[in-house]
Chain A
């Protein structure tokens, strides 16, 4: 008889301490040994994790009102500009924002030592952050300038809202040109000198729910060391199945998540300010998502291994930047993790940008929360668009010139 479980049944097991929870890594050997049906019968929840740079991240802050009041027109936190086009003392600080006097790439390759992501990490570490603001002054908000120091505890709200996180899969980046290039995929040596990839593979949240059978709006998740929620599908959410010219399938890719949570209960070790030489600043984000084993289909999805998952190999010297379609082939995460792959007949070293040990730690931490009964699963208000919705990416045409 087919196995069918509801969220309520699984949560009842969690409450009573009887739920069986495994990480996405641990469940692989169980399925290999017992098969999908038996594993689906035995296991209630599988936890996933990822810890990677996620540029589309940031935080809404409300500072509270000064005396006299100010309606902030411009604001800076430790010299990093924050977006003020919202209510008087609310701002949005983006992870990739840089100081206005940053030399950027004028001294190529630029170092980008401090940006919005670093401010977020400093806030979490309890550091005092310099807040500067300017205004044109109004009858109700007469103050025209402000300079003070804030800490995370002293302000009203700090809401992490990341419009695009947890990419389902990602490119494996290489460089076909004759010179070193500096990208958001790290430093790529000339003439296929190395290859960088960025996914937790078999531990990655959206690779374990490739068809969005369980993850949706309202899914409760591990976010930055605290509890967060899936708010929506992320920007550039293009869930699809990768195929080559011969129509061979290389599995799912392209889904993304928008996530939200209270920064005040997060931890600095899971939201880390990050810099890429010659590229810019960002934030490395830790995300873990529980997958309820509702039926055998879900169990089949979470039992995938690095051998079954593939990244497209993309040239970042020209194809990526010039938006030239196609790739140099697909490589499995199992191959990538050995430390070398063969591309165009050349064996080249590989390195990740996504921390597999931290992904494992997140999946383990989330498992512990569930086993302790501290974390119940939430049934999504609506599932996210999947490959069946056939969403395609739009491009930006250059008009009027």
Chain B
């Protein structure tokens, strides 16, 4: 099965638990950490690429531990009304999720390629890239 990108929200009560370890060991899931911000006694997030036969069971485990799971694609979106297709984001985006369609030169956003680095949110001159939480 194809790897899925998800974002895990940790409460501060579970930030010290070896949750990713159990995903790998107990459910044999293959993980690739794209981005992580987990600190002792603080709320945190981990962006993961996850794949494996027991994907659904792994997600059940996460939820049973109090981890809130969201698909990554829902996190960042391009407001098409605001976007002027200037293109300033397209060579900044590290994964090519934001790119120019040639020859129209219109900006496109492929959310499947997005790793939620959020650089585009800062560099977009008209604030067309929006983060949802």
The A-contacting residues of B in range 64-108, CB under 8 angstroms, are 84-92, 100, 102-106
In the assembled complex, which residues on chain B have CB atoms less than 8 Å from the CB atom of A276? Answer: 125
Beyond A337-B105, A339-B102, whether A352 also contacts B125 by CB under 8 A is: no
Beyond A111-B122, A272-B126, A274-B126, whether A353 also contacts B86 by CB under 8 A is: yes
State A273–B89 Cα separation when bound (angstroms).
Answer: 17
Q: Which residue of B85, B87, B89, B100 has the most chain A CB atoms within 10 A of its CB atom?
A: B87
Which residue of the partner chain A has the closest CB to B83? A355
Q: Determine if B91 and A275 form an interchain contact, defined as CB atoms under 8 angstroms apart.
A: no
In the assembled complex, which residues on chain B have CB atoms less than 8 Å from the CB atom of A349? Answer: 91
B84 CB, min distance to chain A CBs, angstroms: 5
In the assembled complex, which residues on chain B have CB atoms less than 8 Å from the CB atom of A354? Answer: 86
Give the total number of A-B pairs whose CB atoms are below 8 A apart.
75
B76 CB, min distance to chain A CBs, angstroms: 17
Q: Determine if A187 and B123 form an interchain contact, defined as CB atoms under 8 angstroms apart.
A: yes
State A335–B88 Cα separation when bound (angstroms).
Answer: 17
State A51–B87 Cα separation when bound (angstroms).
Answer: 12
Q: Does B57 interact with chain A (Cβ within 8 Å)?
A: no
Q: How large is the interface on A (under 10, 10 to 19, 20 to 34, 35 or more residues)?
A: 20 to 34
Q: Determine if B126 and A350 form an interchain contact, defined as CB atoms under 8 angstroms apart.
A: no
* Majority secondary structure, B binding face: loop
Chain B residues with CB under 8 Å of chain A are 84-92, 100, 102-106, 122-123, 125-127
* A/B interface sample: 20 pairs, CB < 8 A: A52-B86, A186-B88, A186-B92, A194-B92, A195-B91, A272-B126, A277-B122, A277-B123, A339-B91, A339-B100, A351-B88, A352-B87, A353-B86, A355-B85, A355-B105, A356-B85, A357-B85, A357-B105, A358-B84, A358-B85
Given contacts A187-B123, A338-B102, 19 further A-B contacts (CB under 8 A): A51-B84, A51-B86, A186-B92, A186-B125, A194-B91, A272-B84, A274-B126, A275-B127, A277-B122, A277-B123, A284-B125, A284-B126, A337-B103, A339-B100, A339-B102, A351-B91, A352-B87, A355-B84, A356-B87
In order of increasing CB-CB distance, the 10 nearest A-B pairs are: A356-B105, A351-B91, A349-B91, A352-B87, A194-B91, A274-B125, A357-B85, A355-B86, A186-B88, A351-B90
Chain A residues with CB under 8 Å of chain B are 51-53, 109, 111, 113, 186-187, 189, 194-196, 272-277, 284, 337-339, 349-358
